[in-house]
Chains A and B, each alone.
Chain A
């Protein structure tokens, strides 16, 4: 991988030049006092070139928006529909490694699906996701310090450094940033702004070496296969699921913030004979997610919903992508009013402690 160095001053110049070259410059900004949220910083220049922690909402919101128009309904009566295309060029700046991993998994999901043997069926590409992705550039920002208190990317093979999925990755050191090039789009940016990138000094090199060593030491992968096997064999105690089911208040915070949640529903909005068909984010915690017209609901209980959520992220996607699709960003844990923690779940299931914990709690009562 090609490496460059950029000073903090030059990064400012680079971001100013990149802004001119896109329709949306999506970067972290302070909102509501000190919440970090991604937003278009082209107009107001409030972008943070460096920040602590991660944004409250994952950058998924720009590729799979809360609501997205699928096509225009010119005449409902005649079923006359017109395509809608999104040709905006977006540059994402300051995406954390965990979210970068999430974006690569989402791209795999929406663009191609490496899946086992199938009978008669086609491949389906979601062009809405594809068109946005193709016109997007991702500049990752590795985590210098500890992220959100609840994050655990170092356990989920997702941080504190991204390995792939970015166009450029910035790794912060005292004097500036080490820049890694991850794609053609990335090297294009370097080429166009050649003057801004300089050689790292001996002191910088020393710092970089120490930092990368520190990053490597922080990574502690858990045994994903063991975890998946326990879930596959249905060996997670029923009490665990009952406990989780009781804690869920169906606020849907987890699925709204999760960078790898992709479920949606489709609905029509009509005004007279004209309107739009749009999709909006939906998710498994909702009681009606699997309900059918005649009233039958295959998964009616909260505990089944969260189980579906956990199994999808930790078991099924491991089989499909070779890595779990929980990237350890910690957003779902931070937001959950019932204190459901996927990390605690993983820890205790792997160490077969959950059952014991509940039992001890009961006996002490």
Chain B
């Protein structure tokens, strides 16, 4: 084996270096990493809402994370990380100015052309709000290009809610409604209780034309999609951002393979019609 310091080979598995510019505590177990590519030669990371990146920490490995922010001109991008496994726990130990490895962007984006001038419903469960936030921010940049927007967001307890200030900003935007629910309320909580489906009676969008974007745990997706279909929303207009175990992000390692599709290449965003073809219910 010969070691080369030059970049003669286009190694798809080699991460670029990114600096943690800011760390935001979203909830007791989740932090948002504000990142920017470190090396000038790498330029800006160009991506579209809904795509994901592979975030790595040498010694702890690599895992896929969806961008939690919409593309910005300053080259900063955000990733929200819940500390559940060995890599994510190690990531939580990092401080600002530390360096992580990133490669990507990978996967498809949300159907950005199709949703112009349309009403949009976002349904998020737990950390499922993160991938949707990239699209919500994108839509809010040109808010007048879209119709009515409703955001339904459920989490375990009021403390587990991410992006608290941003949710208030969205709520105050005209033609926009934000509905929140929690599984276990505390004494200060005045909102709804239960799974996201309890908020569905509040939906005022026209189901025939509106688009729905969902992200959350498997069980939530299954029941939320079932109830949304009951309201008359069209299967081809319902999109979910799916989570799968993946190691490469480029359709080679085989972990995220489902019936001839790779979630990392053909997804992670699938319409419900596609999900049915793949036999995925959640």
Stretch in contact with the other chain, from B70-78, B169-177, B226-234, B248-256 = B248-256
Q: Is the interface of A mostly helix, strand, loop or mixed?
A: mixed
Stretch in contact with the other chain, from A81-89, A155-163, A218-226 = A81-89
Cα–Cα distance between A41 and B276 once the two chains are bound (Å): 52
Cα–Cα distance between A125 and B12 once the two chains are bound (Å): 8
Measured CB to CB, the nearest residue on chain B to A293 is B85
Across the interface, do A83 and B11 meet the contact criterion of CB distance under 8 Å? yes
Across the interface, do B14 and A81 meet the contact criterion of CB distance under 8 Å? yes
Tell me which residues across on chain A come within 8 A of B10, comparing CB atoms.
125, 127
- At the interface, yes or no: A294 with Cβ under 8 Å from chain B? yes
Cα–Cα distance between A265 and B253 once the two chains are bound (Å): 6
Tell me which residues across on chain B come within 8 A of A53, comparing CB atoms.
none
Across the interface, do A266 and B61 meet the contact criterion of CB distance under 8 Å? yes
Cα–Cα distance between A268 and B280 once the two chains are bound (Å): 32
Across the interface, do A118 and B266 meet the contact criterion of CB distance under 8 Å? yes
Binary A-proximity of B18-48 (CB < 8 A = 1, otherwise 0): 0000000000000000000000000000001
Across the interface, do A263 and B254 meet the contact criterion of CB distance under 8 Å? yes
Cα–Cα distance between A299 and B12 once the two chains are bound (Å): 27
Given A83-B11, A84-B3: A265 touches B247 (CB 8 Å cut-off): yes
Given A77-B99, A81-B15, A86-B1: A290 touches B8 (CB 8 Å cut-off): no
- At the interface, yes or no: A42 with Cβ under 8 Å from chain B? no
Tell me which residues across on chain B come within 8 A of A47, comparing CB atoms.
none
Across the interface, do B252 and A262 meet the contact criterion of CB distance under 8 Å? yes
Cα–Cα distance between A165 and B145 once the two chains are bound (Å): 54
- At the interface, yes or no: B217 with Cβ under 8 Å from chain A? yes
Given A110-B252, A293-B84, A296-B217: A87 touches B58 (CB 8 Å cut-off): no
Cα–Cα distance between A119 and B107 once the two chains are bound (Å): 9
Number of A-B contacts (CB under 8 A): 163
Across the interface, do B255 and A289 meet the contact criterion of CB distance under 8 Å? yes
Instruction: Out of B9, B250, B253, name the residue touching A83 (CB < 8 Å).
Output: B9
Given A84-B3, A120-B48, A263-B254: A71 touches B13 (CB 8 Å cut-off): yes
Across the interface, do A316 and B251 meet the contact criterion of CB distance under 8 Å? no
Shortest Cβ distance from residue B81 to the other chain A in the assembled complex, whole angstroms: 10
Tell me which residues across on chain A come within 8 A of B260, comparing CB atoms.
315-316, 319-320
Across the interface, do B1 and A85 meet the contact criterion of CB distance under 8 Å? yes
Across the interface, do B255 and A78 meet the contact criterion of CB distance under 8 Å? no
Tell me which residues across on chain A come within 8 A of B247, comparing CB atoms.
264-266, 279, 282
Measured CB to CB, the nearest residue on chain B to A131 is B9
Shortest Cβ distance from residue A359 to the other chain B in the assembled complex, whole angstroms: 26
Chain A, 255-282, CB within 8 A of any chain B CB: 262-268, 270, 275, 277, 279, 282
- At the interface, yes or no: B108 with Cβ under 8 Å from chain A? yes
- At the interface, yes or no: B190 with Cβ under 8 Å from chain A? no
Instruction: Out of A76, A283, A294, name the residue touching B58 (CB < 8 Å).
Output: A76
Across the interface, do A76 and B59 meet the contact criterion of CB distance under 8 Å? yes
Cα–Cα distance between A177 and B57 once the two chains are bound (Å): 54
Measured CB to CB, the nearest residue on chain B to A295 is B84
Cα–Cα distance between A308 and B3 once the two chains are bound (Å): 38
Tell me which residues across on chain A come within 8 A of B280, comparing CB atoms.
298
Tell me which residues across on chain B come within 8 A of A75, comparing CB atoms.
58
Measured CB to CB, the nearest residue on chain B to A296 is B218
Chain B, 227-282, CB within 8 A of any chain A CB: 243-245, 247-248, 250-260, 265-266, 280
Chain A, 44-91, CB within 8 A of any chain B CB: 69-73, 75-87
Measured CB to CB, the nearest residue on chain B to A255 is B254
Given A85-B2, A263-B255, A316-B260: A78 touches B59 (CB 8 Å cut-off): no
Given A79-B101, A277-B58, A292-B244: A85 touches B9 (CB 8 Å cut-off): yes
- At the interface, yes or no: B17 with Cβ under 8 Å from chain A? yes
- At the interface, yes or no: B100 with Cβ under 8 Å from chain A? yes
Binary A-proximity of B65-108 (CB < 8 A = 1, otherwise 0): 00000000000000000101101100000000001110000111
Cα–Cα distance between A75 and B17 once the two chains are bound (Å): 12
Across the interface, do A72 and B254 meet the contact criterion of CB distance under 8 Å? no
Across the interface, do A79 and B253 meet the contact criterion of CB distance under 8 Å? no
Cα–Cα distance between A308 and B260 once the two chains are bound (Å): 10
Tell me which residues across on chain A come within 8 A of B84, comparing CB atoms.
293-294
Cα–Cα distance between A109 and B8 once the two chains are bound (Å): 23
Across the interface, do B259 and A311 meet the contact criterion of CB distance under 8 Å? yes
Tell me which residues across on chain B come within 8 A of A320, comparing CB atoms.
260
Known: A85-B2, A121-B266, A283-B254. 9 other contacts (CB 8 A): A79-B15, A79-B100, A85-B1, A128-B13, A266-B61, A267-B61, A270-B58, A289-B255, A293-B88
Please list 7 pairs of residues, one from A and one from B, whose beta carbons are closer than 8 Å in the complex, sorted by A's number.
Answer: A76-B57, A86-B1, A87-B2, A128-B11, A268-B59, A275-B58, A298-B244
